[in-house]
Structure 1
Amino acid sequence: MLKEKILGDGDSMCGRYTLIAPFVLIIQRFHTAKHIEASNYMPNYNIAPGSNVMAVVNDGRENRLGLLRWGLIPPWADDEKIGYKLINARAESLSTRASFRSAYQKKRCLILADSFYEWKRDTSFRKTKQPIRFQLRTGELFAMAGLWESWQNPDGRKVFSCTIITTEANPLMAPIHQRMPVILHKEDEADWLDPKNQDIRGLNQLLHPFEEELMLAYPVSQAVNSTKNNGPELIQSI
């Protein structure tokens, strides 16, 4: 296979998010027939690339909840470190980029969250960046559209990884960043997960900006800038 040259997207985003809902609520919300043990789940206020993240896949029969490494590793990759350059996938190029084309056809997933962070540049003082938290107005769980892949390293170990799909920003997001993660509506999640669904035109129509009136945003502490920090203080409004 001709391997594409891998470049990080200069305008990629969604590099940090949260999942703090109780495990039982996650199971109920996403109707997962099979899932990891509750002991393997810990609320996380500062999920970063390279982490094992909660995701839902469908095996053709039922939804399964498990962990995927954030940062997609294509099956043809020579080095798993490529995943750090593929934490996001632009919706507009899923059908054309070799890294994503196959997964877009049959390895789609839901990446679970209850908010995400983005940084607004503040030029008034040392050109710092102010972290902003984005969530649904209801505060409920949501699913970001994702892709997953299986990669095997030279010693035979398999790594299951994922990427978050981004689209153009809605008016709430646009002053902060030109991109935003694709948040799926509940009624579209089953179509997105179904591996038998290879209607690319129909799938493309799901990858649009989420309605701004259903979301809210507020500034939070710069403590979220460090992945060493991970606690409820990170999501408090300042």
Structure 2
Amino acid sequence: MCGRFALTATPEELLELFGLLEAEGFPARFNIAPTQPIIVVVASERAEPGSNLPERKALLVRWGFTPGWVKDPRKFPLLINARAETAIEKAAFRAAMRHRRVLVPASGFYEWQRPAKGSRDAAQAFWVRPRKGGIVALAGLMETWSSADGSEVDTAAILTTGANRAVSHIHDRMPVVIQPEDFSRWLDCKSQEPRDVADLMVPAAEDYFEAIPISEKVNKVTNTGPDLQDEVTPAAPIPKKRRADDRDDGGQMSLF
């Protein structure tokens, strides 16, 4: 599951990591929520064969995937996530898996641990970030939706997979992470079929992330300051492992 994330990198850091043609200035964002604009990285054609120009560019898209065949987005569920295991089989994501795979830069993501059934405790929020810091590239899918009047909206969803050990005690899903050495293969939708990149859609290495308990401030999208990521002492003990019967609804249409 990935219902909120942050991106606080500078344009220079994005240029260096992703090899972009350009990256415009943008403010640090500590609480990115569904329906808001997010940055995605897509493959870009080279100017000339054999050129050393960068092959990627950054775009702003709406976080909330809308398939091209949808008539009225207002009557369609908000698809913020797509399950990596089944995306190629789903009508909503099938075309994007083949033709429009993207990378979503992030500094980390937020996740909520639900309390035990019958408990009056509130859900505990966590800031999940790379242990070594820096930018993480989440696997994403993009689709351009066209209205009857000809206007277009670029939209995207983040792919999720089963959680690794660092996250499984909080939630049983986590976003798919693409490592820098695999950027080109993931973004190459011309020669790399979905089956050719299936090996990339797996949980991150066990020691890649760390989960920091944080306050309930992150629950409100109007709270956007860096203090959202300040560590707190959890109100209740944190279980070592997520309960087997505490599952989400598939991770594609809900926020948390």
Q: TM-score, normalised by structure 1?
A: 0.89
Matched, 1:234 2:228: yes
Residues paired across the two proteins, number? 223
Q: Is the 8 A contact 2:70 2:76 kept in 1?
A: no
Change (3 A) 1:125 1:93: closer
Aligned to 2:51: none
Aligned to 2:107: 114
2:145 to 151, 154, 174: 151
Matched, 1:26 2:26: no
Change (3 A) 1:46 1:193: same
3-state DSSP of counterpart to 1:213: coil
Change (3 A) 1:83 1:223: farther
1:56 to 17, 20, 41: 41
Hey, what's the Cα distance between the residues in 2 that align with 1:83 and 1:105? Answer: 22
3-state DSSP of counterpart to 1:205: helix
**Identical aligned residues as a percent:** 39
Matched, 1:77 2:70: yes
Q: 5+ unaligned residues in a row in structure 2: which ranges?
A: 47-54, 233-256
Q: TM-score, normalised by structure 2?
A: 0.83
Hey, what's the Cα distance between the residues in 1 that align with 2:91 and 2:101? Answer: 15
1:97 to 70, 87, 90: 90
CA shift at 1:197, angstroms?
2.8
Q: Is the 8 A contact 1:60 1:196 kept in 2?
A: no
State the Cα deviation string for residues 84-126 of structure 1 (Å, max 9, x = none): 5210000111211011101101100001101100001235962
Q: Is the 8 A contact 1:59 1:195 kept in 2?
A: no
Larger strand share, 1 or 2: 1
CA shift at 1:181, angstroms?
0.2
Aligned to 1:210: 204
Task: Name the aligned partner's letter for residue 92 of structure 2.
Answer: S
Q: Is the 8 A contact 1:134 1:215 kept in 2?
A: yes
Task: Name the aligned partner's letter for residue 30 of structure 2.
Answer: Y
Hey, what's the Cα distance between the residues in 1 that align with 2:119 and 2:85? Answer: 36
CA shift at 1:155, angstroms?
2.0
3-state DSSP of counterpart to 2:114: strand
Aligned to 1:15: 3
Task: Name the aligned partner's letter for residue 138 of structure 2.
Answer: M
Q: Which has the larger radius of gyration?
A: 2
3-state DSSP of counterpart to 2:181: helix
Matched, 1:220 2:214: yes
Root-mean-square deviation over aligned CA pairs: 1.6
